Amino acid sequence: MRIKKKTEDSQENNIFWVTMTDLMTALVLVFMILFFYTYMTSFSEKIEQTVEQQKASEALEETLKEQDIDAEIDSTGGIVKISDLELFDVNSYELSEKGKAYLAKFAPAYLDSLFSNEYLNEHLDKIVIQGHTDSQTFQGKYSEDEQYMKNMELSLKRAYTVANYMANSSYNKINGNRLRKMILVEGASFSEPVLTQGKEDFAKSRRVELKIVMKEKNKYREAIKSNNETETKVTKEKNDSNNSKISSKKGNDKSNK
């Protein structure tokens, strides 16, 4: 009897461990499938974003060419680079007359091109305006740390000057509220020089860049959800108000009777 009991216990233990092994294997497979699905979805969305961003950059490049506006455009990243010589005098953050004339043409062409693009109009999150200098500016006048921070100040002020002029330019003002929420200003000092054959190109390093940042997918979905919730709330408030008026009218009718 004891032998039989041990055999039964052994069989039950084997069944238990076989079941647990199957369960663990199934869970691992589920996690692998979820991981693969998430990765492929993210990869697919990234490709779509890159393709659409490139199309928008090409459309912008065509618009600027049509209006005879000189600017370097990186179509893969949607980055526009403007030489400091187009905008400022040496070591100055105030726009030159040439700079004002340039931005008067560039700003509305750039902004209207972004907002008129169907994909960007839905997915655009930020427009980053970033100033850059070169490592020669203020050299010899200050310590290395002071020189870097002086260039940081100059690059930031230049970026702000461009942003301020663009925000007050003659672009389609229907997009004004959105632009105010999107626009960001940054100064990079000489931390990101442009290299030519491995050496810093001082003239090309002094520039202002405009970068477009796309919404993260989750953030885009949250924005849609928030908009839908707002519309639902407004509709509910209207219905409640109408129902209240109807009830009030019925009450008055009864009292009159």
Upper half-sphere CA count for residue 57 (Cβ side, 13 Å)? 21
Provide φ and ψ at 169, rounded to 5°.
-85, 180
Task: State the Cα–Cα distance between residues 233 and 106, nearest whole angstrom.
Answer: 41
> How far from 198 is each of 72, 83, 100, 194, 195, CA to CA, in Å?
20, 20, 33, 9, 5
Task: State the Cα–Cα distance between residues 95 and 103, nearest whole angstrom.
Answer: 9
In tens digits, what is the pLDDT along the chain, a chain of 257 residues? Answer: 444 444 555 555 555 455 667 667 767 777 777 766 666 666 666 676 677 777 777 878 888 888 888 888 887 777 999 999 999 998 999 999 999 999 999 999 999 988 988 888 888 899 999 999 999 999 998 999 999 999 999 999 999 999 999 999 999 999 999 999 999 999 999 999 999 999 999 999 999 999 988 887 544 444 444 555 555 554 555 555 555 554 555 455 555 55
Tokens of 229: 């919730």
Provide φ and ψ at 238, rounded to 5°.
-65, -45
The class (CATH top level) of 54-221 is alpha beta
Task: State the Cα–Cα distance between residues 232 and 243, nearest whole angstrom.
Answer: 16
Under 8 Å between Cβ of 45 and 217: yes
**Helix, strand, coil shares, percent, the chain, to 5:** 65, 15, 20
What is the value of pTM for the model shown? 0.67
